[in-house]
Structure 1
């Protein structure tokens, strides 16, 4: 009774595999749900600001002012609404139709012709802080481009002793999808992995088959291994499918290796499946299990994994809480594999944390399993 029996484990694996094939919900969770969520995340969450609506109050009719307006119109980042009076744009900014406005004053050309600085006022909608920062930064960039085109070499405002040259490693185009899509896979797999096993034990209780299992000589560990194997394989297929979608559908570069990908995915799936098993064992109710799994998998993973919000900027206590969130380690590993490559000093510590979390989940599941409780 104390020894693990491969025959009993194999029997449970076959039983559970047949259950998976008969139950379309597992297939939907493993393949359809990740595809839908990945499309929603990839297209719904986008940090790239393009076609931001701004207004330009062109109070100066000089040719140099017209050329400045044309420079704003030429950039793909702005959709420009031109007016001759700033008061015509105030209401549009207040109502949210415009995210900001640029005011070119009447004496703009005269000041430039005398070699003096001519201030240009940029007003942004501070209720959307990220967009306001985009408007400010992009407007400054457009002004620099315009100054270069105008060749104002004799103007004091253009005499800069140092030329700044920027290079962006790992994501040279600064495409937000290159970082958001790998993070989205981590969030999706947290949901999928937990949901896959959150119904397993609860289903046995609701269908009245748990008593039959308890009457057999199978041990809690054998039962857990037998039930886990089919869902681990299913989870791997789901994980690989999400990665392939990211590469071929969303054109996210993948610079890592297959072995590292499977190590990272396997460690995370063990923790996610263990969380689902624990929930299912404790609740013994499929509806309650699914609700708890969805809440405990999605919200912590979305808010505390570094997917959207930078962990380093969080308060100290919250940063410590993130250490017990498995998705945090998968987000870091996937971003590393997609954008950088097989950086094992980054990957290995995260994999170790995931394995430890998985061991804790499975240990609690075995402790709470019906067979152990009956022995107690």
Structure 2
């Protein structure tokens, strides 16, 4: 391998990147766009759930309970005069649930009997329905505790659970989504960008000119790999800076380990992009293959949004060949939990093996010939 030729190839690639606005847009503007989209536009949190409240006979007890709903950050209650109107609002999706305080609610409370509350929840979105039910239980328990304190006697319950949430105590979905999004961004930069750029060279005929030079195939591949490695790491650093400074996502782990894990994953993505470009020498075909083989699995099967253990067993097995699965696990661990070595080491080893495999297959398939 000739170092002078390699430097020339790297310089040539950097000049091509500077003259290609699309490559710079994918590497630096696309991460910013995706982070703003998922950071501000996508949320798995249930906040300000529209809720219909029907009170058949207003009393001090019902007013106190409705006041608890109005003070809750999770609900946006709306009073309806009858159940018929509330049900019509639920059917029209103007509210996502109904709380019905019947006419005998206060009488049963004052007599010391068990009072029942009618709760109807829209189950079209099953996840949102379960969250709403849990929040309603919390409001109900808080109202019972306040009522017991006002009466001067403690609330007696069979089991008093003390909840403690680790790693993401605020339960912000943004803290969970933004670290995983970095894996999707690096997949786009590494695999999609590399596949498109090399395929474009085949279309324009510049790859044939490279084949005619004395440069070895390993030098040509390194000349492609090194510039896009720096672009990928630049996009990663920009994403991490936005995650920490703009979205206030904590980075509890080591930054050096984050750099090392990002390097391993980026080598996998670059290897996949080079391999795709060696199979498909057309930009459209290379882009379609890159999206289907790299981007969609990274988005769906990596644990970025969808919980892997809840998937069917066959799909869980398939996720083990998705490189983004291992990188998402490392990212979420480093950002939210810290340096948990049992997770970092095994996932890093999987990325290392995949990087060796894809780069090795790419080098073996690449030859200085036009067929």
Are the structure 2 counterparts of residues 328 and 336 from structure 1 closer, same or farther at C-alpha, using a change threshold of 3 Å?
same
CA distance in 2, matches of 1:162, 1:91: 38
Structure 2 CA distance, aligned partners of 1:366 and 1:196? 19
- Mapped partners of 1:204, 1:179: distance in 2: 38
2:312 paired residue number: 315
CA positional deviation for 1:359: 1.9
Q: Report whether the alignment pairs 1:203 with 2:200.
A: yes
SS of residue matched to 1:199: helix
**1:143 maps to 2:143:** no
Query: Structure 1 stretch 335-344 or stretch 112-121: which is displaced more?
Result: 335-344
Q: CA deviation at 1:347?
A: 1.0
Segments of 4+ moved more than 6 angstroms: 152-157
**Higher mean C-alpha displacement, 59-68 vs 203-212:** 203-212
Contact 2:59 2:106 in 1 (8 A): yes
State the partner residue of 1:228.
225
Equivalenced residues, count: 371
Q: Is the 8 A contact 2:54 2:100 kept in 1?
A: yes
Give the structure-1-normalised TM-score: 0.94
Per-residue deviation, 1:149: 1.3
How does the TM-score come out when normalised to structure 2?
A: 0.95
* CA distances 1:105-135 after superposition (whole Å, capped 9, x unpaired): 1000111111100110110001111111121
Indicate conservation of the 8 Å contact 2:208/2:370, yes or no.
no
Equivalent-residue separation in structure 1 for 2:84 and 2:295 (angstroms): 46
2:42 equivalent to 1:45: yes
Which of 1, 7, 11 in structure 2 is aligned with 1:10? Answer: 7
Aligned to 1:269: 266
Instruction: State the secondary structure of the residue aligned to 1:159.
Output: coil
Structure 1 residue 238: deviation in Å?
0.5
Quick check: 1:255 aligned with 2:262?
no
Change (3 A) 1:349 1:83: same
Show the counterpart of 2:186.
189
Which of the numbers 351, 356, 360 marks the counterpart of 1:354? 351
Map 1:1-376 onto structure 2 (within 5 A): 4-151=1-148, 158-371=155-368
Separation of aligned partners in 2, 1:323 and 1:307: 14
Matched residues in 2 for 1:204 and 1:88: separation? Answer: 65
Encode CA deviations 1:247-289: one digit per residue, 9 max, x unaligned: 0111101111221011011011101111111111111112221
Structure 2, gaps ≥5 residues long: none
Instruction: Name the CA distance, whole Å, in 2 between partners of 1:65 and 1:284.
Output: 70
In structure 1, what is the Cα distance between the partners aligned to 2:57 and 2:332?
48
The alpha-carbon deviation at position 302 of structure 1 amounts to: 1.2
Query: Does 77-86 or 363-372 show the bigger shift?
Result: 363-372
Q: Distance in 2 between matches of 1:179 and 1:328?
A: 14
Stretch of structure 1 that moved more, 196-205 or 322-331: 196-205
Deviations 1:28-71 (A, max 9, x none): 11100010011111222211111110101111211111111111
| Change in 2 beyond 3 A, CA 1:372/1:167 | farther
CA RMSD, Structure 1 to Structure 2 (Å): 1.9
Where 1:163 maps in the other structure, the secondary structure is coil
SS in 1 for 2:198: helix
Gaps of 5+ in 1: none
Q: Are the equivalent residues in 2 in contact too, given 1:99–1:131 (CA < 8 A)? A: no
Residues 42 and 184, structure 1, Cα contact 8 Å, conserved in 2: no
The secondary structure found in structure 2 opposite 1:81 is strand
SS at match of 1:184: helix
Q: Secondary structure at the match of 2:208?
A: helix
- Contact 2:211 2:369 (C-alpha < 8 Å) held by counterparts: no
